[in-house]
Chains A and B, each alone.
Chain A
Amino acid sequence: MRIETETEPKTIRRLQSNRKTQFKKKSEPYIYLLPTVILMIILLVIPIFMVIRYSFYDNVIINKNPEFVGLENFKEVLTNKSFLVAVKNTSIFVGGSLILHMILGMTFAMVLNTKYLGTKTKAIFRVIFSLPWMFTAAVIAVLWKLLLSPNGFINFLLVELNLTTSQIEWLASRDFALFSVTAINIWAGYPFFMISILAGLQGIQSELYESAAIDGANSVQSFFHITIPQLKPILISLILLDFVWTIQQFALIWMTTGGGPIDATEILSTFIYKQGFSQYEYSMASTSAVILLIICTIVAIFYVRHQRGSE
């Protein structure tokens, strides 16, 4: 009995020490994660929460005592003519960019993957084709503004080739501006598709093409029945990522046309910027931003599900 009473505290201590060690072990990974989590909360979660909160109040920041207005801001934004124009322009801008990014990226990737070109030639073209991806939005905007200026190189070329007699106002005409900025965005973004698809193409086993050739498949059949199915996971990821990036494009539009002429190139990001920094309507800007956030989140969910599916 005596011995038992003597060992009891020891057992308790041992148990406590075990619990401490266990807690330490379990909490260790979370402690490692803590700096990142704190940074994410401060830089990501809090701003998002604040913007969502602002979207339910009347003019925040300007008004020191803003009132809760529920979904009124959403109703106002969704019936705003300029917002609807911005949605239409954004759809054309994003849709056009996505389709042509894919077509150009695929074409150039296949050219660079061909066995008919030497290694050096391929390397040189790989660098040339990738160049647009290396430039920042500011450089791209300045470069294309010079090229597309009424006195610029593109018009000079068109006049010299007798394709036009007058100076086309590529960025200053309502008929051409949206087409022009979409073309600039396509030029700036296709290398990402090209590089990713090229990596995918290099991973497709050559035996698949050889078997298809033995079975009598021509190159078009091989493309649609081998290349596309093999690249499918990469293509879906690229489309989803490009959608999110393009829908948020701001700098390029702002520096080339500023959303004009009138509202010809107004997209969601320029619309939000003007509401916030020109009209000082921070609640409306937040509401529009929340709508954009919802669209991007839906796409992001698809992206994550798709990534999980492929795993």
Chain B
Amino acid sequence: MKTLKKSVLSILFIGSILFILAACSQDQPGSASGEDGNGEVTLEFQQWWGVELPDGVLQEIVDGFTDETGIKVELLSNPYADTKTQIAAGAATGTMADVVGLDGSWVYDFGKQGAIANLTELMKADGYDDSQLSDQIKVDGNTYMIPVVNFAYPMYVNLDILEEAGIEEIPKTWSEFTEVTRKIKESTGKAGWAIPLSTESPSGIQNNFMSWLWASGGSMLDDGKPALTNNDDLTATVEFVKGLFDAEVVAPGAYAMKEADMVEEFTNGRIAFMHDSLAHLTTIKKGAPDLNFDFIPSPVKDGFSGEGGMDVANWGIGIAENSEHKAEAMKFVEYLMSPEVNAELAVYANAFPGNTNAQPDYSEADELFLKAYELYKDSYAINEFTGLPTSEELMRTFDEQLQLYLDGDTGSADDMLAETQKIWEKAFE
């Protein structure tokens, strides 16, 4: 009797599991958005922007959309890293929010996965004029992300450290930079430059390492494919950075340093130069109101005289494939990209607009911000990692190979780049 009872219970238990499993595996178009009894649509908008903008600004902007269209927008704001994990989980389970904030480095994978919608089709269906967009991030010829605002990565310089070291001329070339940072180290004991190479968030490769290459007109791609070998500019960049490490002018702890740590070191007056997002200008000013710093054009490879590129990161936007309200979501995207709203967002974010017709009013902006804006306009915006497959992983593998070379485990810059090329090519297969 006891055995029978056990068997019945086991059968019931397994049966219920199978039933729920079957129910879960049904192909249902899951969507986070809702429609209330009155037929009103509520869109979910998942992003990290709300956390980084001044309090209430994003809510105010989306309220404007609700007033205009009657479509409600629920904000799901979390820090950048959490947002990425949540969006990736949503992409895997088909429960992504209707509208999502995207980083250019995620687009390829979510696009290939079919988790984000083809915006080319949606823009066409809505008759949207995309010529006003400064950029569109494409996968296989179709747009999957629109950059809403762009953040430039100019070079910051601590003028007090330069003065302390008796340096009067701002370095313009790599050799001058090496000389200046060496002088700084010798006379002040402070670091000349910093690069965050933590593998937890390997964006230091994109924002701090490649900034040198791009500023000197170089490229790491050829026709969208990795071109790390037989690339003189890139080899020179690797050797230049190795030279800075060998001269011990780089802030210590680089291999475990994250971008936030670097900003903190700069704010505390321990680093003379750094490439960093303009978005941190307010943080630095708030943290150290007396810090005497400025923006300068990034020093370039000796002998280079053309127009250089400035690294940009962006707050991109996309629509979930699982959304039941793609048309409404597209309207929301168009609203954020409209010249007036886009300009407003750019001013609040200390960024540059994604709509070419937007006229942001920077009259009340910081003088330094305006200077950085001028530097940005003198160069072309570039970020070659945007839209690449497993972009973050590409940065991580480059980071690991670079660390092996810096530590002397790899014999030469060419060997390091050849090994990285081999790993990268697998991601492009």
B114 (CB) vs chain A CBs: closest residue: A64
Contact B255–A61 (Cβ < 8 Å): no
Please, which residues of chain B bring their CB within 8 A of the CB of A177?
A: 256
- A254: interface (CB < 8 Å): yes
Please, which residues of chain B bring their CB within 8 A of the CB of A254?
A: 200
Partner of B113, one of A50, A260, A280: A280
A42-B20, A46-B17, A151-B270 in contact; A258/B200 too (CB < 8 A)? yes
Contact A41–B20 (Cβ < 8 Å): yes
Contact A41–B199 (Cβ < 8 Å): no
Partner of B255, one of A42, A46, A169: A169
Q: How far is the CA of A9 from the CA of B252 in the complex (A)?
A: 93
A257-B200, A260-B198 in contact; A61/B113 too (CB < 8 A)? yes
Contact B390–A280 (Cβ < 8 Å): yes
A62-B112, A64-B114, A257-B198 in contact; A172/B92 too (CB < 8 A)? no
- B403: interface (CB < 8 Å): yes
B201 (CB) vs chain A CBs: closest residue: A258
Contact B200–A260 (Cβ < 8 Å): yes
Contact B252–A171 (Cβ < 8 Å): no
A46-B17, A46-B20, A263-B400 in contact; A172/B256 too (CB < 8 A)? yes
CB contact list, B20-37 vs A, under 8 A: 20-21, 24
B427 (CB) vs chain A CBs: closest residue: A279
Contact B109–A280 (Cβ < 8 Å): yes
Please, which residues of chain B bring their CB within 8 A of the CB of A103?
A: none
Please, which residues of chain A bring their CB within 8 A of the CB of B13?
A: 37
Query: Closest approach, in angstroms, between the C-beta of A148 and any C-beta of chain B?
Result: 9
Please, which residues of chain B bring their CB within 8 A of the CB of A248?
A: none
Please, which residues of chain B bring their CB within 8 A of the CB of A280?
A: 88, 109, 113, 390
- A291: interface (CB < 8 Å): no
Q: Which of A172, A257, A263 is most buried by chain B, counting CB atoms within 10 A of its CB?
A: A172
- B165: interface (CB < 8 Å): no
- B236: interface (CB < 8 Å): no
- A119: interface (CB < 8 Å): no
- B71: interface (CB < 8 Å): no
- A167: interface (CB < 8 Å): yes
- A139: interface (CB < 8 Å): no
Contact B84–A258 (Cβ < 8 Å): no
Question: What is the predominant secondary structure among interface residues of chain B facing chain A?
Answer: helix
CB contact list, B85-104 vs A, under 8 A: 85, 88, 91-92
Contact B252–A46 (Cβ < 8 Å): no
Q: How far is the CA of A282 from the CA of B197 in the complex (A)?
A: 26
CB contact list, B244-301 vs A, under 8 A: 251-257, 261, 265, 270
Please, which residues of chain A bring their CB within 8 A of the CB of B403?
A: 260-262
Please, which residues of chain B bring their CB within 8 A of the CB of A151?
A: 252, 265, 270
- B365: interface (CB < 8 Å): no
Partner of B392, one of A42, A167, A278: A278
CB contact list, A244-278 vs B, under 8 A: 254-263, 274, 276-278
- A174: interface (CB < 8 Å): yes
Please, which residues of chain A bring their CB within 8 A of the CB of B257?
A: 172
B409 (CB) vs chain A CBs: closest residue: A262
Please, which residues of chain B bring their CB within 8 A of the CB of A255?
A: 200
Contact A171–B17 (Cβ < 8 Å): no
Please, which residues of chain B bring their CB within 8 A of the CB of A116?
A: none
Contact B92–A282 (Cβ < 8 Å): yes
CB contact list, A85-107 vs B, under 8 A: none
Please, which residues of chain A bring their CB within 8 A of the CB of B197?
A: 260-261
Please, which residues of chain B bring their CB within 8 A of the CB of A276?
A: 88
B389 (CB) vs chain A CBs: closest residue: A280
Please, which residues of chain B bring their CB within 8 A of the CB of A61?
A: 91-92, 113
- A16: interface (CB < 8 Å): no
Contact B112–A261 (Cβ < 8 Å): no
Q: How far is the CA of A277 from the CA of B390 in the complex (A)?
A: 9
A64-B114, A171-B256 in contact; A277/B198 too (CB < 8 A)? no
Q: How far is the CA of A164 from the CA of B254 in the complex (A)?
A: 20
Contact B253–A149 (Cβ < 8 Å): yes
Please, which residues of chain B bring their CB within 8 A of the CB of A123?
A: none
Query: Closest approach, in angstroms, between the C-beta of B426 and any C-beta of chain A?
Result: 10
Q: How far is the CA of A149 from the CA of B262 in the complex (A)?
A: 12
Contact B199–A258 (Cβ < 8 Å): yes
Contact A167–B112 (Cβ < 8 Å): no
B326-366 near A? 1/0 per residue, CB < 8 Å = 00000000000000000000000000000000000000000
Contact B113–A62 (Cβ < 8 Å): yes
Query: Closest approach, in angstroms, between the C-beta of A64 and any C-beta of chain B?
Result: 7
- B16: interface (CB < 8 Å): yes
Q: How far is the CA of A279 from the CA of B393 in the complex (A)?
A: 6
A272-299 near B? 1/0 per residue, CB < 8 Å = 0010111110100000000000000000
Q: Which of B17, B255, B256 is most buried by chain A, counting CB atoms within 10 A of its CB?
A: B256
Query: Closest approach, in angstroms, between the C-beta of A27 and any C-beta of chain B?
Result: 11
CB contact list, B354-409 vs A, under 8 A: 390, 392-393, 396, 399-400, 403-404, 407
Query: Closest approach, in angstroms, between the C-beta of B15 and any C-beta of chain A?
Result: 11
Q: Which of B113, B251, B270 is most buried by chain A, counting CB atoms within 10 A of its CB?
A: B113
Please, which residues of chain A bring their CB within 8 A of the CB of B392?
A: 278
Please, which residues of chain A bring their CB within 8 A of the CB of B112?
A: 62
Query: Closest approach, in angstroms, between the C-beta of A60 and any C-beta of chain B?
Result: 9
A259 (CB) vs chain B CBs: closest residue: B199
Contact B390–A172 (Cβ < 8 Å): no
Query: Closest approach, in angstroms, between the C-beta of A181 and any C-beta of chain B?
Result: 10
A277-B84, A280-B113 in contact; A260/B393 too (CB < 8 A)? no
A46-B17, A172-B257 in contact; A262/B390 too (CB < 8 A)? no
Please, which residues of chain A bring their CB within 8 A of the CB of B91?
A: 61
Q: How far is the CA of A279 from the CA of B57 in the complex (A)?
A: 34
- A219: interface (CB < 8 Å): no
Q: List 20 A-B contacts (CB under 8 A).
A: A41-B16, A46-B17, A62-B109, A62-B112, A62-B113, A150-B252, A151-B265, A169-B252, A255-B200, A258-B200, A260-B200, A260-B255, A260-B403, A261-B403, A262-B255, A276-B88, A277-B84, A277-B88, A279-B390, A280-B88
Give 9 nearest A-B pairs by CB, closest first.
A258-B200, A150-B252, A260-B199, A261-B255, A172-B256, A172-B255, A171-B256, A172-B253, A150-B253
Which residues on A are within 8 Å of B, measured CB to CB? 37, 41-42, 45-46, 49-50, 61-62, 64, 145, 149-151, 167, 169, 171-174, 177, 254-263, 274, 276-280, 282
Given contacts A62-B112, A145-B256, A151-B270, 12 further A-B contacts (CB under 8 A): A46-B21, A61-B92, A145-B261, A151-B265, A172-B253, A256-B256, A258-B200, A260-B400, A262-B199, A262-B403, A262-B404, A274-B396
